[in-house]
Structure 1
Amino acid sequence: MRDVPVAAVPAPTAAPGVFLRRCALPLLCGTVVLLTSCGTGTGAGGEGEGGGLPGVPMGVTAEAGSATTVHVMWNALDGAESYEVYRGGRLVKEVPASDRMVDVTRLRPSTAYAFTVRARDADGRLGPRSREVRATTPAAVTDASAPTRPEGAEGRAAGGRAVQLTWSAAKDDRKVVSYDVYQGGTKVHSVGGAQTAAVVTGLRPGTRYTFTVRARDAADNLSPASAVVRLATPGSDDGRTSAPTGLRAASHLADGAYYLDLTWVPPRTDGPVTEYQIHLDGRPATSLVYGAEAPRDLAEYSFYAGREAGVRHRVRVRARLADGTWGGFSEERKVTLGAGG
């Protein structure tokens, strides 16, 4: 996005705890809210909405990534707002519900570690710890050479919500300790150095994805990326299940300028939606990114739209989903500045 002059533009209205970012349209200034996959599934435990504590995260695994790092992964848990990862009894990472993988760093070489994961719900309540998983970091080595790139990367869809990737083993002057799998530019999975296959879940039917694989050695040297694997999951996704609903649009006047006021119901997805894109008159106008307090029941947003009354706009909203793709658009609404809606 390019910066635009803002000397004559009133500050946009923003929720508490929000940072502002200039946007692409010359008469529009939006906000970006603070902050901001591996597997999916439903954990046991808990008592449903309004019931007891969150359930127990399932499918927890730990795999050494280098002499000083361990990858910890788990399945998604319905109702989780965030996850806490513990090394022994010590909290080492907290991540939003859209993440189900963390790299625990600054560990000791040749050392055994134990990890557990807990889920936190929207009310801040922590659920029970997962089963304990263990990983041992390899010995430290002096190594300035990265592994070779994994060759022969290919894949296939494994149903509408998962893909299976395979590749040939990379070579290293010492040893390949792990392989990192990237969806686009985001690391979403990791497996041990003896494995040359991975299953990535949590995807959407009827969606195109790109994947690459990189090898890592004990000294944390990363190989070049493999060739890009392009896959499309079967089935259809018309966007309705991933689109925000109940969009309402109005305007108000403040300090001689008009603002558009939007409300919508977030889509019911795997974990809270933390990023939205707003289109105005068919063009991307602004984005907002929530942190851990992303709304689940009703989202609200207001932004500057100009000083001239009677201007008519079309507006719609879409959400970025946990798999990194954009969901469907909400219904489009029309609003006239100064008319109230």
Structure 2
Amino acid sequence: MRRVPLRAVAVCGALLTVASCGRGGQDTGAGGRIPAAPAGVTAAAGSATSVHVMWNRASGDPGIVRYEVYRGTTKVKEVPGSQHMVDVTRLKPSTAYAFSVRARDADGRLGPPSERARATTPAAAAADDRPPSRPERPRGEAAGSRAVQLSWGTSTDDRSVASYDLYQGATKIHSVGGGQTAAVVTGLRPGTRYAFTVRARDAADNVSPASETVRITTPAGSDGGQGTSGGTAPTGFRAATHRADGAYYLDLSWVPPNAGMIDGVISEYQIQLDGQPATSLVWGGTAPRDKATYSFYVGREAGVTQRVRIRAKLPDGTWGGFSAERTVTTGAAGPAGP
């Protein structure tokens, strides 16, 4: 199978393109591969002195036993391989920070650092001992068999809400910025009953009472082959090629994940070719809600076959599940799709 390198092209209209490179595991030269760099790293200020860092599970052989979190070049946290989030505390107010994550496997091999995620802590609130109000009207629903979507009403504070913390039972599992009132929780088990609550936090680390409990049971069975993010994957994904001015272009179309269900607009996607990230798409204007289309240059040679799939960045900053994968060949007739 031949692969034509992607080249940057100008795109008219509101859609912006940003090239990105995947970071797969690297050969150590000793009969093994070091872990890949964790993907999907996000950072959000939780208060004036803390930042919540999250990432996706990294691949590695053997499995990942722990993750190391870095502030700049300094390691500040270390967590087990089963954990994919951490709160970095004792930070300075009104300060910009950059965080990265590295994976270590059972043989002690340390993978490369992830892309950096940046966050700025808010200003400290002097003599603030009043917590935000309790988040009201929490609601949620299953998004496939391994994910749920949660949303809640805005809390109030005498200054401002810095973040919202999500709890599964008594365990904090996620955090989003104070301007967000929705999140997608992934990595759940099919056919399992869960209980979630939400708490608001201000810049002085005052925490609100817990919201009412949202109880959700994930459906039994598989997630339809869409990975651990279930219903967060784009659907109706189709791919075809066309030729113009002596060059070939890849034409994609899809339905955004759970259009009308996720509380927020999907404005960023990642396209993978042959299992590797190739291009990121960011809508600079109004992103489509019902059907999205995109076309980009893939080269001038006919008969080149590639596998393509796409995933969305969800409103809470995490990546959703991948679409079905399609195989297309430049110069071939007919689209690849269901």
TM-score (norm 1): 0.56
SS of the residue corresponding to residue 204 of structure 2 reads coil
Partner of 1:194: 179
CA distance in 1, matches of 2:69, 2:26: 22
Match of 1:75 in 2: 56
What is the aligned counterpart of 2:217 among 219, 229, 232?
232
Aligned equivalents of 2:134 and 2:122: distance in 1?
A: 21
1:114 partner amino acid: A
What is the CA–CA distance in structure 2 between the aligned matches of 1:234 and 1:140, rounded to whole Å? 44
Give distance in 1, aligned partners of 2:153 and 2:219. Answer: 26
In 1, the alpha carbon distance for the partners of 2:71 and 2:130 equals 30
CA distance in 2, matches of 1:97, 1:150: 31
SS at the partner of 2:64?
A: coil
Displacement of 1:48: 8.9
The Cα offsets for residues 46-101 of structure 1, whole Å up to 9 and x where unpaired, read as 15996211001000000000000000000112321100000000000000011111
Q: How does 1:17-56 map to 2 (within 5 A)?
A: 44-46=23-25, 51-56=32-37
Distance 1:197 1:231 in 2: 15
Q: Distance in 2 between matches of 1:108 and 1:207?
A: 40
SS in 2 for 1:93: strand
Moved segments of 4+, more than 3 Å: 47-50
1:58 aligned to 2:43? Answer: no
1:182 corresponds in structure 2 to: 167
What's the CA shift for 1:104? 0.4
Give 1:45 deviation, angstroms: 1.1
1:125 Cα deviation (Å)? 0.8
For residues 151-175 of structure 1, the C-alpha deviation after alignment (integer angstroms, 9 at most, x for no partner) is 0001000000100000000010000
Partner AA of 2:218 in structure 1: T
| Structure 1 equivalent of residue 71 of structure 2 | 87
Match of 2:194 among 204, 209, 229: 209
Residues 144-293 of structure 1 aligned to structure 2 (within 5 Å): 144-236=129-221
Alpha carbon RMSD of aligned pairs, Å? 1.6
Q: Return the alpha-carbon distance in structure 1 between the equivalents of residues 77 and 115 of structure 2.
A: 17
Say which of 112, 132, 146 aligns to 2:116. 132
Shift of 1:236: 3.4
Unaligned runs of 5+ in 1: 1-42, 238-341
User: Deviation digits for residues 234-261 of structure 1, max 9, x if unmatched?
Assistant: 1238xxxxxxxxxxxxxxxxxxxxxxxx
Residue aligning to 2:106: 122
Counterpart of 1:12 in structure 2 is: none
Amino acid at match of 2:124: A
| Aligned residue identity for 2:90 | R
Rounded to whole Å, the distance in 1 between the matches of 2:186 and 2:32 is 28
AA matched with 1:204: R
Q: Write the letter of the residue equivalent to 1:61.
A: T
Distance 2:218 2:26 in 1: 33
Q: CA deviation at 1:44?
A: 4.4
What residue identity is the alignment partner of 1:57? P
Cα distance in 2 between the residues matched to 1:201 and 1:127: 24
Secondary structure, counterpart of 1:113 in structure 2: strand
Distance 1:213 1:75 in 2: 22
- Alignment equivalent of 2:87, drawn from 103, 113, 135: 103
Counterpart AA for 2:192: T
Q: Distance in 1 between matches of 2:64 and 2:166?
A: 24
